[in-house]
Amino acid sequence: MAKLKTFYRTFVKSLTKPAYYKDILSAKFSFSLKYLALLLFLISIFGAFRIALGMQDLKPKLPGFIEKAKKVVVNVYPDKLVITLKSGKIFTNVREPYFIEMPEDGRDLGLTASHLVAIDTKGKAEDFQKYNSLVLLTSESAVVSDGQSGFKVYPLRDILKDVPDGAELNKTIYTALTSQLLPYLDKLPGYLTILAMVAVIFWPFLATLFSLSGHMFYLVFAAFILLLITKVMKKNLTYRKVYQLSLHALTLPILISFALSLYGKFVPFLFTAILIVFMIVVIKELPSKIDKSN
């Protein structure tokens, strides 16, 4: 409890009292590092609960999603299509390019491509965008979107390395395979509850670790800029002390960035601008002659 009270006082002063930064000059570096770590940890706890609540909000929608997904999976494979694997390459019995069309239920699930799968065993990965499909199968690769404007290529030799040479995939085999996998879809609500629990328990620790590392790396460069500002303002701070002061000055930009993220907003360079302006106010409050032995 005493540590939380100390954190609270430090938080309020770091956020609202530039004169408080005079006291930080005589504090140990570890004090400032622990402060930032705890700040990020508390924010991460809030974030973990948001993730967990978001997952729970999905549960009522899952039954409908699962039923539509089952229909898509069961009915999507064409009756006449036969795909054969030979020497790490696939061959088909249909005229190519061949398209497995996007079912209406697939569009209801948010899939917007014109085709579900395009098969062109004589094509290249670069044909992916031309076919406007979720997946392009060439003789040697599976090509999918990278989530932006490009694509990723996965060699079939790696994906199908455990499949015996000469194996075939047809409607009968596909139906047998999916009948074994589809029951796992019904377990999604249970998995979602487990994921929500894991998020609440483990996410704050992982998020704090990555966030703290990222902010410390960011300050390696930002502190150099701030050190130059101290020289212009004729304060004889060392780089180490500028860095330490910045650990506290991050409070305001972190809170503002987090608040914006709740609304899905991001403003380029806002974080750095807030930090620099806040630190200029802090530096003005510091004495001109500072004991560098601290």
What pLDDT score was predicted for residue 156?
A: 85
State the Cα–Cα distance between residues 28 and 146, nearest whole angstrom.
46
Q: Return the structure tokens found at 293.
A: 């032995």
State the Cα–Cα distance between residues 110 and 268, nearest whole angstrom.
30
Judge contact between 29 and 240, C-beta under 8 A.
yes
pTM: 0.60
Continuous H helices in the chain:
2-16, 21-24, 29-58, 62-75, 104-108, 128-131, 156-159, 171-181, 188-232, 239-249, 251-262, 270-285
State the Cα–Cα distance between residues 74 and 184, nearest whole angstrom.
14
**3-state secondary structure labels for all residues of 99-124:** EEECCHHHHHCCCCCCEEEEECCCCC
Which of 103, 79, 101, 81 is CA-nearest to residue 90?
Answer: 81
What pLDDT score was predicted for residue 255?
A: 95
What pLDDT score was predicted for residue 293?
A: 53
Q: Return the structure tokens found at 134.
A: 């979720």
Which of 24, 13, 9 is CA-nearest to residue 242?
Answer: 24
Q: Return the structure tokens found at 33.
A: 């590092």
Mean pLDDT per block of 10 residues along the chain (294 residues) reads 85 93 92 95 87 70 74 81 89 90 64 81 88 89 80 86 86 85 76 75 87 94 93 90 95 94 86 95 82 54
What pLDDT score was predicted for residue 64?
A: 74
What pLDDT score was predicted for residue 11?
A: 93
- Residue 31 has a CB neighbour count (10 Å cut-off) of 14
- Residue 41 has a CB neighbour count (10 Å cut-off) of 16
What pLDDT score was predicted for residue 272?
A: 94
